[in-house]
Amino acid sequence: MQTAEIRRRFLRHFERHGHTVVPSAPLLLDDPNLLFVNAGMVPFKPFFLGQQTPPYRRATSVQKCVRTLDIDEVGKTSRHGSFFQMNGNFSFGDYFKRGAIELAWSLSTGSVAEGGFGLDPDRLWATVYHDDDEAAALWKEVTGLPDERIVRRGLADNYWHMGVVGPGGPCSEIYYDRGPQYGPEGGPEVDEDRYMEFWNLVFMQYELSAVRSKVDFDVRGPLPQPNIDTGMGLERIASILQGVDNLYEIDEVAPVLRRAAELAGKRYGREHADDVRLRVVADHVRTGLMLIGDGVVPGNEGRGYVLRRILRRAVRAMRLLGVDAATLPELLPVSKDAMRASYPELERDFARISSLAYAEEESFRSTLRAGTTILDTAVREAKSAGAPQLSGQRAFQLHDTYGFPIDLTLEMAAEQGLRVDEAGFRRLMQEQRERAKADAKAKRTGHADVSAYREVQDALGRPVEFTGYDEVSGEG
């Protein structure tokens, strides 16, 4: 089943059950605590917080999401995209646990002929928060799941709040057993790759009076009217229904992966390290496309820097696969073609999107041209001198003269088996900053400050990744 069809069925199912279909909000919302929208409930936050009255009591959407905290997982797990789409259904003081479970179950296991996804109930598992007897009983009653496939888990996995005072409550996750070839049996507690989470149902039923961390908060009491917020990973359900190993192989992503493999002259599935790179390329090209499509421009700070980093990682992965020529002109149109059934605006806007992306690749290529030889020489020298690491001085020079962000230096040195004196580098950076401050007349010289990713985070006061689910401010 094609992803576009899965999305259509999801919306249709909930529309048939009285939900208003709400279009995806853009990835960028005006929210100082949030780099990008990273869960389906984000645009509905004012309703859940009671700041606005929703014009409907039931809503459904397919929301574009970017989770920066998942970037490092990309390509390594089978289920984390930096960009993904979250199918959701929401109840504002309308149906609660029973309704949410019934609606999720009937769509998941309903026959394909009648608009469902036709999942085999024998492969499904549900989790509940450890003291949520009500949900456990409902799973049993509504779905007929046997007790051993209704698993109780603690705060870290099965409790949700916004990281601030406001609504919170237990949640249930639905897992699909992909079979013994993916790992040992025993349920999601044993192996989250074999048992893949594809849907999370949040039962917002309490009001929290203080929140100190994800797992440390006080409950004031029950909410006057409880809400439902669910999120089903579109790519995850697509990977299940398309019978592929991971979400980089679904119809909306795989064409980029295949084209990248072709350009590199690699056979996907042969060598693990290459496969990871191909998956990173496929994922990151799409994320770049969607971010630029929603108005993000590559830059040196904040959101622009995340985009820059993502595009550069894709380009670097292609270089590591052996492709030195510009690659985005080959890959970006393929991604756009794979996504345009769901996002026709990408086609209309493609001239703008692609020129920004291609320019970014060009500027990165010239950075690399200038710095790579220097880095390689430095690495060779350090090694032959028996130095345990590349000096902070070298890293600083690469940054200052060649525009190499420290993370790039770290990554490239690591590929050659060398660490970098990061503390030394940071000391020199700090000295430079102080010199600049001391010099009252100092003005920007036009030299690009290519800050490290981590510095960006610091400047933002650590980007607070607010998700409806599990990435809470200050957690790490």
Q: Which does 360 bind (CB under 5 to 8 A by kind): Mg ion, ligand ATP, none?
A: none
Residue 198 C-beta: closest distance to Mg ion, Å: 9
Q: Which does 361 bind (CB under 5 to 8 A by kind): Mg ion, ligand ATP, none?
A: none
Residue 431 C-beta: closest distance to ligand ATP, Å: 39
Contact characters 165-194, Mg ion, x per CB under 5 A: --------x---------------------
- 41 versus 410: smaller Cβ distance to ligand ATP: 41
- 159 versus 425: smaller Cβ distance to Mg ion: 159
Q: Which does 330 bind (CB under 5 to 8 A by kind): ligand ATP, Mg ion, none?
A: none
Cα of 276 vs its chain's centroid, Å: 16
Residue 65 C-beta: closest distance to ligand ATP, Å: 7
Q: Which does 407 bind (CB under 5 to 8 A by kind): ligand ATP, Mg ion, none?
A: none
Out of 200, 205, 287, 467, which residue is the one contacting Mg ion (CB under 5 A)?
Answer: 200
Residue number closest to ligand ATP, CB atom: 233
Q: Which does 289 bind (CB under 5 to 8 A by kind): Mg ion, ligand ATP, none?
A: none
Q: Which does 266 bind (CB under 5 to 8 A by kind): Mg ion, ligand ATP, none?
A: none
Catalog residues that contact ligand ATP under the rule CB under 6 A. 67, 70, 79-81, 84, 86, 197-200, 231-233, 235-236, 467, 469-470
Residue 106 C-beta: closest distance to ligand ATP, Å: 18
Residue 69 C-beta: closest distance to Mg ion, Å: 8
Residue 284 C-beta: closest distance to Mg ion, Å: 18
Residue 197 C-beta: closest distance to Mg ion, Å: 5
Q: Which does 81 bind (CB under 5 to 8 A by kind): ligand ATP, Mg ion, none?
A: ligand ATP
Residue number closest to Mg ion, CB atom: 200
- 80 versus 336: smaller Cβ distance to ligand ATP: 80
Task: Decide the pairing of beta strands 20-21 and 58-66.
Answer: parallel
- Binding site residues, Mg ion, CB under 5 A: 173, 197, 200
